[in-house]
């Protein structure tokens, strides 16, 4: 997709330090981290939402999730980590290319989502 920032990073049109890359996905540092270490794991195929996944997209996402434990030392996941996939405006999705937030490096509280309602 020509206007997608993650597709532009994937293609090298926007420079970014890729922490890891292979033929199915890449991992970059989040530019607005919410934890000591906060990465974005991004499938190379462009799709916006889980509900839009093709079988090939689902295979690539599954591969990416299974790859994370192999990258534990590289990413500093040894003490545990949190995965977040925001889906849509109400969830706070700002880039509409599916990506997985990987947060680690510190104890992570779980927010009380009922506050403010």
Q: Which residues are catalytic?
A: 99
**How far is Cα 9 from Cα 26, in angstroms, rounded to an integer?**
10
CB half-sphere exposure, 63, CA atoms < 13 A: 16
Q: In what order do the strands lie in the sheet with 37-43?
A: 18-21, 25-29, 37-43, 100-104, 81-84
Token pair for 27: 């991992």
């Amino acid at each position: 997709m020509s206007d997608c920032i993650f597709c532009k990073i994937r293609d090298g049109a926007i420079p970014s330090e890729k922490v890891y890359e292979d033929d199915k996905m890449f991992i970059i540092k989040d530019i607005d981290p919410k934890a000591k270490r906060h990465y974005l794991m991004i499938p190379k195929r462009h799709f916006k939402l889980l509900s839009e996944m093709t079988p090939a997209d689902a295979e690539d996402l599954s591969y990416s999730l299974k790859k994370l434990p192999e990258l534990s030392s590289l990413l500093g996941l040894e003490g545990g980590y949190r995965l977040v996939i925001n889906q849509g405006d109400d969830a706070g999705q700002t880039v509409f290319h599916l990506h997985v937030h990987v947060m680690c490096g510190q104890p992570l509280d779980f927010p009380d989502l009922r506050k403010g309602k």
